[in-house]
Structure 1
Amino acid sequence: MDILVIGSGGREHTLTWKLAQSKLVDKIYTVPGNPGMEKIAQCIPGSVEDNEFLVKVAQEKKVDLVVVGPEVPLTNGIVDDMAKVGIASFGPQKAAAQLEGSKSFSKNIMKKYGIPTAKYEVFTDAVEAKNYIEKEGAPIVIKADGLAAGKGVIVAETKEQALEAIDEIMCDKTFGNAGNSVVIEEFMAGEEASVLAFTDGETIIPMIPSQDHKRAYDGDKGPNTGGMGTYAPAPVITEDLMKQVQTKILEPTIKAMKQEGYEYKGCLYAGLMITAEGPKVVEFNARFGDPETQVVLPLLESDLAEIMLACANGTLANCDIKWSKKAAVCVVMSAGGYPAKYEKGNEILGLDKAENENVLVFHAGTAKKDGKIVTNGGRVLGVVALGDDIKTAVDKVYTDIKLIDFKDVYYRKDIAHRAFNRK
């Protein structure tokens, strides 16, 4: 079969790489894709936000399945528009994608169906939001209600920081219309983890748990980013905890969505906090995480195209999904200055030297210029190493990452530190 992958980042490169290994797949198209995907797919220039164009490409290329990488096409209803012309998609329809598109929608679902999460209130008025902060105190968490490219969350350690966050989100509109309303949550103490899961609207099968590193600098310091690195499996999620995640979070959420009339298919991403009372939901995403995908999919031993078709067709219960016993670690190579101001257009050297049997390089923010591959985003590359355990994978990734270079390159030197500092 032929597949269209929508997106251009590290997540989409990883999805394309994994789908290319499938015995079912003949050809892969990507819109717009990136230079790393060119070896395994035909990249077609265009906007991921132009539904009409995406449908036209899918029809012209006669694709059998559309795989949606980023959140914006999902909340724009691309799955609905593909369905209207009889093309199957891996991803939730627009109404179900609200689980990520609106934090207040998501929190209200959790509250109604008793899915464990932080106590919260929603505000559309900045003065009322500030009054609530004055009453609750700090630490406290402020979230822009809409999509903010993974950056609309501020963990305020002091009341002053929380009040500033309200000004930033609601008054200064740092995240645009995403900040028309805010969700203010209690601060949850614990360790974070990500559990992605395949679902066809009835059955839900979790993937190997991973752990992201959101802060820009070593020691989890500095501003929030889209993610500076990941590793899997995350030892914080024990077998017992995974059972709790399945029965108290994943299954009830899929049932709740169906009961509300929003059947959810595709990948459900549960961002979790492992608290003293057990796992609680920090947020849901309606698609594969980035850079979690870069460590989870290399550990998948089953056929990804087969699983995605089963999710679209409602036959996931028939799939026997197998996972490697190995570990994977991803370190994101970013442009100096990210997540604030950074340069683009710097040549990337050494890409061909770094990849080998146990090291993969996924392109995230790259472009081609005069026949050379150059930087074209804040997060430029995801370098992934596989090993028999996390320590082996960490050693490998930090050895091979030195073979790649570009001007002002920056990456964290402590990815997976929590795996080694467990009590």
Structure 2
Amino acid sequence: MKKVLVVGSGAREHAIAKTFLRSPQVDQVFVAPGNDGMRMTPNIKLVPISVQMIRDLADFAELERIDLTFVGSEEPLTLGIVDYFEQHDLPIFGPRQAAAQLEGSKTFAKELMAKYHIPTAQSVTVKSLDEALLAVERFGLPIVIKQDGLALGKGVQIFQRNDQLMQQLTGIYAKAPHATLVVEEYLEGVEFSIFSFVGQNGIVHAPIAQDHKRLLDGDEGPNTGGMGAYSPVPWLADDVRMTAIEKLVMPTIEGMKADGIPFYGILYTGVMLTKQGPKVIEFNVRLGDPETQVVLPQLNSDFYIMIDELMLGIQPQVTWQHHQVYIGVVLAGEKYPASGSQGITVPVLENHQVKVDSAALTLKDDAYVSDGGRLLTFVAAGETVSQAQEIIYSQLQTLDLKHFQYRTDIGYQAVNHEVTKI
């Protein structure tokens, strides 16, 4: 039997760990550092090592004879965890440090796309307030501002009003006069994401998902790390997915190989379907959160075998379900995305209809209390998105959630399309 180490602490890592445990090959999954809510799942064991402590993680993997380490979060990838593990002959799935620049540097990603003519928004990298203002003048409003480095899914801001934009830019450059930002044109269209599991001689593309980044219903309020997602996206034709893979995903993988920076691991392609066709919004080098929580449950194949074969240079034979739509709703503290939602008792619901992935829970006096902003992802499936919504929201209404918040319209795009077909 196999032992797996998952690196990370959120609901994404909980979903990854549970997917590995569905494999008959796997009898034990360790999660470093994980969170106390994961203890509700049998055969998950928490390891108190932070994601930055690469040497300690490697020592643990060697001591426990871990058969596979799977990196969930982006930070250790950009710090070079894969390089370090490979140097010590420890099996690990993820991109090496050089390839992780695809997420670690927006400028790197933009330059790669320009070199290989991969459709994306026009952009300018700036390092001063004057340069930023010139870029704003070039693109006009609305406009997108991105941090160049890692931002835990919250580094993108869209500005509709000039006064808010000016306040943000002047604030950034008052604190850091040479801050690197990517200023880019605003794209209009339908947004979706694709996970591609990439090995030396094999690639597996997952069903597409739609994330809901804004805090409030109707896509209002500030940007967050993600308030919910659903997958697959039944109202988008499969040829849209195939075009995005052909025009965006594969040229990126091939371009990095041509540049001597081969990409192995998970390529997350954020896509905007514009009037001119699909364009890249962003790349990540790991699974997304909360999309993972609604994509991985659709895998009918053995997850461990799939990853193992990719690492061995084999093209896996993989099947996904095609009969249901999965919806995930994130429960967050009432002050999120601001801080200050810690220490509140969190009601935990899990039954045959609704599954729960834990993000930021601490066990205290036999109760689970909040230890961050996003706390849980509730997941349910139905034959349609509206049916999945009915299941999950009827269950949430039975809980006392006055100190928490969640969106009540996850999957609204698909529901609107269901209505127009009637």
Place the TM-score, normalised by the shorter chain, in its bin: over 0.9
Q: Provide the rounded CA distance (Å) in 1 between the counterparts of 2:12 and 2:415.
A: 26
1:14 alignment partner in structure 2: 15
Match of 2:290, SS? coil
Counterpart of 1:358, as a letter, is: Q
Q: Provide the rounded CA distance (Å) in 2 between the counterparts of 1:358 and 1:13.
A: 18
**Residues 133 and 162 of structure 1 are in contact (CA less than 8 Å); yes or no, is this contact kept in structure 2?**
no
2:415 alignment partner in structure 1: 420
Q: Where does structure 1 differ by over 6 angstroms across 4 or more consecutive aligned residues? A: none
Match of 1:37, SS? helix
1:338 alignment partner in structure 2: 336
**Residues 215 and 225 of structure 1 are in contact (CA less than 8 Å); yes or no, is this contact kept in structure 2?**
yes
Deviations 1:173-192 (A, max 9, x none): 5xxx9x83111111101121
Counterpart of 1:23, as a letter, is: P
The 3 A distance-change label for structure 1 pair 196 and 292 is: same
Cα deviation, residue 406, structure 1:
5.0
Superposition pairs of residues 146-295 of structure 1, within 5 angstroms: 146-172=149-175, 180-295=179-294
1:398 alignment partner in structure 2: 393
TM-score (norm 2): 0.95
Match of 2:37, SS? coil
Deviations 1:69-107 (A, max 9, x none): 110011011111111111111111111111100001011
The 3 A distance-change label for structure 1 pair 5 and 129 is: same
The 3 A distance-change label for structure 1 pair 405 and 74 is: farther
Superposition pairs of residues 40-189 of structure 1, within 5 angstroms: 40-172=43-175, 180-189=179-188
Matched, 1:366 2:361: yes
Q: Provide the rounded CA distance (Å) in 2 between the counterparts of 1:285 and 1:295.
A: 17
Q: Provide the rounded CA distance (Å) in 1 between the counterparts of 2:368 and 2:14.
A: 15
**Residues 209 and 237 of structure 1 are in contact (CA less than 8 Å); yes or no, is this contact kept in structure 2?**
no
Match of 2:170, SS? helix
Deviations 1:226-280 (A, max 9, x none): 0000011123531110110111011111101111111111111111111111111
The 3 A distance-change label for structure 1 pair 378 and 259 is: same
Match of 2:310, SS? helix
My pick for the range that moved more, 317-326 or 388-397, is 317-326
Deviations 1:194-248 (A, max 9, x none): 1111111443321011101000111100100000000111235311101101110
Q: Provide the rounded CA distance (Å) in 2 between the counterparts of 1:309 and 1:283.
A: 27
Find the partner of 1:356 among 347, 351, 355: 351
**Residues 339 and 378 of structure 1 are in contact (CA less than 8 Å); yes or no, is this contact kept in structure 2?**
yes
**Residues 103 and 284 of structure 2 are in contact (CA less than 8 Å); yes or no, is this contact kept in structure 1?**
yes
Q: Provide the rounded CA distance (Å) in 2 between the counterparts of 1:41 and 1:275.
A: 42
**Residues 139 and 184 of structure 2 are in contact (CA less than 8 Å); yes or no, is this contact kept in structure 1?**
no
My pick for the range that moved more, 240-249 or 31-40, is 31-40
TM-score (norm 1): 0.94
> Structure 1: where are the runs of 5+ without partners?
none
**Residues 69 and 92 of structure 2 are in contact (CA less than 8 Å); yes or no, is this contact kept in structure 1?**
yes
Q: Provide the rounded CA distance (Å) in 2 between the counterparts of 1:406 and 1:284.
A: 34
Counterpart of 1:250, as a letter, is: V
> Structure 2: where are the runs of 5+ without partners?
none
Q: Provide the rounded CA distance (Å) in 1 between the counterparts of 2:173 and 2:79.
A: 23
**Residues 204 and 250 of structure 1 are in contact (CA less than 8 Å); yes or no, is this contact kept in structure 2?**
no
Matched, 1:325 2:323: yes
The 3 A distance-change label for structure 1 pair 263 and 405 is: farther
**Residues 306 and 316 of structure 2 are in contact (CA less than 8 Å); yes or no, is this contact kept in structure 1?**
no
Counterpart of 1:312, as a letter, is: M
Superposition pairs of residues 16-31 of structure 1, within 5 angstroms: 16-31=17-32
My pick for the range that moved more, 194-203 or 163-172, is 163-172
Q: Provide the rounded CA distance (Å) in 2 between the counterparts of 1:261 and 1:279.
A: 26
1:383 alignment partner in structure 2: 378
Deviations 1:123-172 (A, max 9, x none): 11221111221343211111110011111111111333333332244433
**Residues 37 and 368 of structure 2 are in contact (CA less than 8 Å); yes or no, is this contact kept in structure 1?**
no
Equivalent residue pairs, number: 415
Counterpart of 2:234, as a letter, is: P
Deviations 1:105-130 (A, max 9, x none): 01111111111100111111221111
Match of 2:193, SS? strand
Cα deviation, residue 34, structure 1:
1.7
Q: Provide the rounded CA distance (Å) in 1 between the counterparts of 2:196 and 2:400.
A: 35
What's the RMSD between the two structures over aligned residues? 1.7
Counterpart of 1:115, as a letter, is: I
Counterpart of 2:327, as a letter, is: V
Match of 2:327, SS? strand
Counterpart of 1:134, as a letter, is: E
Q: Provide the rounded CA distance (Å) in 2 between the counterparts of 1:140 and 1:87.
A: 44
Deviations 1:338-397 (A, max 9, x none): 001332111123x2xx32223101101111112221111100110000112211111101
